[in-house]
Amino acid sequence: MFEIKYFTVNPLQENTYVLINGKKECIIIDPGFYYQNEREEFLQFIRDNGLTVARLLNTHCHLDHIFANNLVAKTFGVGLEIHRKDQVVLDRSPQSGLMYNLPFEPSPMPKSYLEEGDKVVLGDDVLEVLLTPGHSPGSISFYCAAQQFVIAGDVLFRQSVGRSDFPGGNFETLARSIREKLYTLPDEVVVYPGHGPSTTIGFEKAHNPFVPEDPSTRFA
């Protein structure tokens, strides 16, 4: 069973997730540590808990979710895993950092690509890869059926959704991803987003003004 730890970090208040199993192995998802104190706190957490970092995953490759990809990859000797359609976003991330006046160490290139339906296995625990584009071309979400949670990146927030006006984004694609990939999950599934507090699938189906379950009621 995964224990879920998250850190809210960097100037954009991004949620970085650490999923820990019973053998003290862990998966790092979207390491956004930017400031030195954030990096030190994260590394101290890993040390204090005797954790072995097994995998490094990105839901997508916007800069606030990859600031510490290089730190994690170099420190723990793990390779980056993303969806191939977000490679173009990763490639232009150094320029994005300069544009937003947030320079950072370039991310390593992926060691492998994740595809729709792939299983991310850590011991007895499993995450299923859901392709959920719209915020970025290769945004993916990680669904744990056994524990009824999904790490959704910047696809779905509490009563909001990710921006779709970045290069490669598209609102209709985003809405379709939410309705077809996330709203089809059980209502009790907890959504852990890339920014802000957690929510549930059932709550968002009933209360999300941007992507209601019934498209005809949008903004009603």
> Can you give the CATH number for the domain in which 86 is found?
3.60.15.10
Mean pLDDT of the chain: 96
Length of the chain (residues): 220
Cα separation of 126 and 201, whole Å? 20
Q: How confident is the model at residue 17 (pLDDT cuts 50, 70, 90)?
A: very high
Report the run of H or E that residue 19 belongs to, with start and end: strand 14-20
Cα separation of 150 and 118, whole Å? 14
To which residue do tokens 């379950």 refer? 213
123-182 confidence digits (pLDDT tens): 999 999 999 999 999 999 999 999 999 999 999 999 999 999 999 999 999 999 999 999
Which domain does 173 fall in, by range?
A: 3-217
**Cα-Cα-Cα-Cα dihedral sign, residues 164, 153, 44, 79:** negative
pLDDT above 70 (res 64): yes
Cα separation of 85 and 46, whole Å? 31
CB 162 within 8 A of CB 193: no
183-210 confidence digits (pLDDT tens): 999 999 999 999 999 999 999 999 999 9
Dihedral through CA 1, CA 14, CA 220, CA 150, nearest 10? -20
Q: What is the pLDDT of residue 220?
A: 43
The domain tally of the chain equals: 1
Q: Percent of the chain having pLDDT more than 70?
A: 98
The strand pair at 125-131 and 119-122 is best described as antiparallel
